[in-house]
Amino acid sequence: METLSENTCFGGVQGVYSHASSTCKCDMTFGLFLPAEAKDGPVPVLWYLSGLTCTHENAMTKAGAQGWAAEQGIALVFPDTSPRGANVADHEDYDLGQGAGFYVNATQKPWAPHFNMWDYVAEELPALLAENFAIDMERQAITGHSMGGHGALTLAMNLPGRYRSVSAFSPISNPMGADWGRKQLSAYLGDDEAAWARHDASAMMKDSGFDGPVLIDTGANDQFMDLLRPEALAQAIAERRQQATYRLQPGYDHSYYFVSTFMEDHITFHAEALYGD
């Protein structure tokens, strides 16, 4: 693992690191904020999964999360959104290829060799963090924005007991229910829709739900509302009677102005679960 940068931030350290990923078969970069408490021992961790076209850097610099995490003594992990490099497949469309990993393990050409973001986030990167940093892997929570909200929700519901809480900002909530979402699922996973269901938050909510608290915020003026399909997830939450808070925020769109506005709420929400019994 190589240290690319480390900067003092709210009394802690905001670092950026790279490593050779065996899962994605390329070099991967991630951001990690460690609060001051990490100097004295392991701290709980909140994963932040970013959206389409983003790298590890977008949320790290725009979400305003470190100050709130420092107040709560929580580490923040900012993974990249896809494998990258000259030998990694890409696409002219923004919603496929590099920057658009969708947090799945691709089974189809040309994506299959490298696009294994599910295993990267669920297995490889946690193991790397546990080995190299003062992080308490028994106290994990997860959040994300847009494509990253989709990843946070599906990882949380597919890995019971892993995360104590899950939240999302404007998540892609029902990709199986729209032509746009079906485009990515079929490109990465093929035409067998049975393989898609575990990567659809609404389908997973109906099937298994989440064994903990859920918080979801979506801007009422989100320009991608028809692609996100929040109503499908809201209905699934209601039908399951899932422990959840689902909010439509008047006037807000899909941008990081929206994310940063409600970041304090989300970190406080996760802190309650991470420090609870």
115 has a pLDDT exceeding 80:
yes
Average pLDDT over residues 142-150: 98
Q: What is the pLDDT of residue 226?
A: 94
Q: What is the pLDDT of residues 51-107, one digit of tens each?
A: 999 999 999 999 999 999 999 999 999 999 999 999 999 999 999 999 999 999 999
- Which of these is catalytic: 50, 146, 165, 173? 146
* Average predicted confidence (pLDDT) for the chain: 97
β-sheet bridge partners, residue 48:
143
Q: What is the pLDDT of residue 140?
A: 98
22 catalytic? Reply is no
- Which of these is catalytic: 114, 254, 266, 270? 254
254 catalytic? Reply is yes
Q: What is the pLDDT of residue 57?
A: 97
- Which of these is catalytic: 80, 200, 217, 222? 222
CATH of the domain at 52: 3.40.50.1820
Average pLDDT over residues 136-154: 98
Q: What is the pLDDT of residue 195?
A: 93
Q: What is the pLDDT of residue 160?
A: 97
222 catalytic? Reply is yes
Inter-CA distances, 60 with 77, 78, 100, Å: 9, 7, 18
DSSP the chain: -EEEEEEEETTEEEEEEEEEETTTTEEEEEEEEE-GGGGTS-EEEEEEE--TT--THHHHHHS-HHHHHHHHT-EEEEE-SS--STTS---SSTTSSTT--TT-B--STTTTTT-BHHHIIIIIHHHHHHHHS-EEEEEEEEEEBTHHHHHHHHHHHHSTTT-S-EEEES----GGGSHHHHHHHHHHH-S-GGGTGGG-HHHHHHHT--SS-EEEEEETT-TTHHHH-HHHHHHHHHHHT-SEEEEEETT--SSHHHHHHHHHHHHHHHHHHHS--
Domain hosting residue 23, numbered range: 2-275
CA 245, 227, 174, 117 torsion: positive or negative? negative
47 has a pLDDT exceeding 90:
yes
Taking the complete model, does pTM exceed 0.75, yes or no? yes
Measured at the CA of 143, the angle between CA 142 and CA 145, to 5 degrees, comes to: 155
Q: How far apart are CA 69 and CA 62, in angstroms?
A: 14
Q: What is the pLDDT of residues 20-31, one digit of tens each?
A: 999 999 999 999
Closest CA to 111 of 26, 41, 52, 226: 26
Q: What is the pLDDT of residues 4-24, one digit of tens each?
A: 999 999 999 999 999 999 999
The domain tally of the chain equals 1
277 has a pLDDT exceeding 80:
no
181 has a pLDDT exceeding 90:
yes
Q: What is the pLDDT of residue 241?
A: 95
pLDDT over 70 for what percent of the chain?
100
- In which band, very low, low, confident or very high, does the pLDDT at 232 lie, cut at 50, 70 and 90? very high
